[in-house]
Amino acid sequence: MRGAWALLVCAGAVAVIAPSGWVLLRSAHRIRDVPDVPGTEVALVLGAGVRWDGRPSRILQGRLNVARALFDAGKVRRIIVSGSPESRGHSEPVVMRDYLVARGVPASAVVLDESGVDTWRSCRRAAGEFGLRRVTVVTTRFHLRRAVALCRRAGMDAYGVGHDAAADGLRRVSARGARREVLATAKAFWWRR
């Protein structure tokens, strides 16, 4: 009985540690800030929810502000906004585009992806449907390593720039997101789609 428990504990540890190691290795030296990220043609902004009134959530606003900073700094020339076509009665990518355009990003530089219902689908579509080989993925810092790893799995040379939600007054959201990442990373590692 003792051996069975030891085996179960070891299997559980591997189930959590292996995915974490994979994400760390795949994203090593690829997490950057706006000034030091290599230039790419496109930023891929991952969705994070829309409020009932049709405005982006605070987490999503943070991601969009990072994308705008990349665009303004000349680090990217286009921005793909990827998310759900149905978020509280609104198209998340349309809300994202409208937010960016209202802040000076030309509408012609923003591309909608309404199939991005999860990170893997956003990455896979960026590589497959949009034909990207190189991308700067933009999300929240707690999610960034997994997003970079999945974009690389999809075949892209990916770098990541993240919004620091905790520093932006969203500590509880950031802590909850970091806890969620443990399971999401395990799913991303073990479930090959």
**pTM of the predicted structure, to 2 decimals:** 0.88
Q: What is the largest CA-CA distance in the chain?
A: 65
Do the strands 42-46 and 78-82 form a parallel or antiparallel pair, or are they unpaired? parallel
Tens-level pLDDT at each residue, the chain (193 residues): 677 676 666 666 566 677 788 888 889 999 999 999 999 999 999 999 899 999 999 999 999 999 999 999 999 999 999 999 887 789 999 999 999 999 999 999 999 999 988 999 999 999 999 999 999 999 999 899 999 999 999 999 999 999 988 777 777 776 676 677 676 667 776 675 5
Q: What domains appear along the chain, each with residue ranges and CATH number?
A: 2-190 (3.40.50.620)
DSSP code at position 47: P
Tokens representing residue 91 in the block = 């198209």
